[in-house]
Structure 1
Amino acid sequence: MKFQFEKLGSINKAELELGDLTIICGENNTGKTYVSYAIYGFLATWNKFINFELSQEKIDNLLKEGILKIDLNQFENNIFSLINELSRDYTQLIIPQIFSANEGYFSKTSFEVFINYNPSYKNELQFSAKTKEKEVLKAFKEKSSAILEITLLVENEALIPSTHIVKDFIAKALGKALLGHYFASPFIITAERIGISLFYRELDISKNVLVEQLQKQSKKFEIFDFFEMVNNTVSRYALPIQNNIDFVRDIFDIHSKKTSPLLKEHPEFAKDLKNILGGEIKVANDQIFFTFKQARKNQTIPLYLSSSTVKSLLDLNFYIKHIAKSGDILFIDEPELNLHPANQRKMARLFVRLIKAGIKVFITTHSDYIIKELNNLIILGNKFEERNKIMKKYKYTEADVLDPTSVKVYIAENQTLTPAPIDNLGIAVKSFDKEIEEMKNMFDDMTETMEMAYEL
Structure 2
Amino acid sequence: MKIKFKNLGPLKKGEVTIRNMTIFCGKNNTGKTYVNYLIYSILETLKDYRTNLNLNIDQLFKEGVQEIDVVSLFDNNFDRIVKEIANEVKENLYKVFNSKKDFFEELELEIELDKEQKREKLIKLKFDRNVTIGENKVKISNLNKVEGSDKITLIYFKEKTEKKILEESLRRYIENFLQICLIQEENQKYMLPTERNGLNIFYNELLRKRANIVENMDFSVEGKEEIENVNNYPKPVKDYLKILTKLDIYDKNEGNEIFVNIAKEMEKEIIRGKYKIDNNRIFYQTENEKELDLYIASSTVKTIFGIIFYLRHLIKNRDYLIIDEPELNLHPENQVKIAKLLVRLVNSGIKVIISTHSDYITKEFNNLLMLDNDFKNKTKIMEKYDYSKEDVLERKNVGAYLFKDGILDEMEIGEEGIITKTFDEVIESINERNDDIYYSIKESGDE
TM range, normalised to the smaller chain? 0.7 to 0.9
Distance in 2 (alpha carbons) for counterparts of 1:313 and 1:126 = 42
Select between 375-384 and 438-447 the one with higher mean Cα deviation.
375-384
Aligned: 1:196 with 2:189: no
Superposition TM-score, scaled by structure 2 size = 0.85
Distance in 1 (alpha carbons) for counterparts of 2:29 and 2:215 = 42
Give, in angstroms, the shift of residue 140 of structure 1. Answer: 6.7
User: Structure 1 pair 236/123, CA: closer, same or farther in 2 (3 Å)?
Assistant: farther
Aligned: 1:147 with 2:152: yes
Give, in angstroms, the shift of residue 408 of structure 1. Answer: 0.3
What corresponds to 1:246 in structure 2? 242
Structure 2, unaligned stretches of length 5 or more?
A: none
- Kindly provide the CA deviation profile for residues 62-85 of structure 1, in whole angstroms up to 9, marking residues without a partner as x: 9xx8x9985522422221122112
Distance in 2 (alpha carbons) for counterparts of 1:410 and 1:246 = 30
What corresponds to 1:324 in structure 2? 315
What corresponds to 1:206 in structure 2? 209
Aligned: 1:292 with 2:286: yes
- Kindly provide the CA deviation profile for residues 218-261 of structure 1, in whole angstroms up to 9, marking residues without a partner as x: 9xx9xxxx99x95x76654211111111111111111122x12x
Distance in 2 (alpha carbons) for counterparts of 1:243 and 1:33 = 16
SS of equivalent to 2:251:
helix
1:18-417 paired onto structure 2 within 5 Å: 18-54=18-54, 71-77=69-75, 78-91=77-90, 93-118=91-116, 119=119, 120-121=121-122, 122-123=124-125, 144=147, 146-147=151-152, 167=172, 172-180=176-184, 184-214=187-217, 236-257=232-253, 259-260=254-255, 263-265=256-258, 267-274=260-267, 275-293=269-287, 297-417=288-408
Aligned: 1:430 with 2:421: yes
Letter of the 1:199 counterpart: F
SS of equivalent to 2:426:
helix
Provide the aligned length of Structure 1 versus Structure 2.
431
User: Structure 1 pair 325/199, CA: closer, same or farther in 2 (3 Å)?
Assistant: same
SS of equivalent to 1:101:
coil
Aligned residues of 2:3 and 2:17 also touching (Cα < 8 A): yes
Give, in angstroms, the shift of residue 212 of structure 1. Answer: 3.6
Distance in 2 (alpha carbons) for counterparts of 1:300 and 1:390 = 39
User: Structure 1 pair 148/338, CA: closer, same or farther in 2 (3 Å)?
Assistant: farther
Distance in 1 (alpha carbons) for counterparts of 2:307 and 2:136 = 32
Letter of the 1:292 counterpart: T
Distance in 2 (alpha carbons) for counterparts of 1:339 and 1:59 = 63
User: Structure 1 pair 123/350, CA: closer, same or farther in 2 (3 Å)?
Assistant: farther
Aligned residues of 2:132 and 2:141 also touching (Cα < 8 A): no
Distance in 1 (alpha carbons) for counterparts of 2:180 and 2:293 = 41
What corresponds to 1:6 in structure 2? 6
Give, in angstroms, the shift of residue 108 of structure 1. Answer: 0.8
Aligned residues of 2:259 and 2:345 also touching (Cα < 8 A): no
SS of equivalent to 1:418:
strand
Aligned residues of 2:61 and 2:156 also touching (Cα < 8 A): no
User: Structure 1 pair 309/442, CA: closer, same or farther in 2 (3 Å)?
Assistant: same
Aligned residues of 1:288 and 1:302 also touching (Cα < 8 A): yes
Give, in angstroms, the shift of residue 313 of structure 1. Answer: 1.5
Give, in angstroms, the shift of residue 7 of structure 1. Answer: 0.7
Letter of the 1:282 counterpart: K
Give, in angstroms, the shift of residue 17 of structure 1. Answer: 0.8
- Kindly provide the CA deviation profile for residues 273-312 of structure 1, in whole angstroms up to 9, marking residues without a partner as x: 212222111112432211123xxx2222112221121221
User: Structure 1 pair 452/34, CA: closer, same or farther in 2 (3 Å)?
Assistant: same
CA RMSD of aligned residues (A): 3.7
Structure 1, unaligned stretches of length 5 or more?
A: none
Distance in 1 (alpha carbons) for counterparts of 2:166 and 2:244 = 32
Letter of the 1:251 counterpart: L
Distance in 2 (alpha carbons) for counterparts of 1:51 and 1:61 = 22
SS of equivalent to 1:256:
coil
Aligned residues of 1:10 and 1:31 also touching (Cα < 8 A): yes
Superposition TM-score, scaled by structure 1 size = 0.83
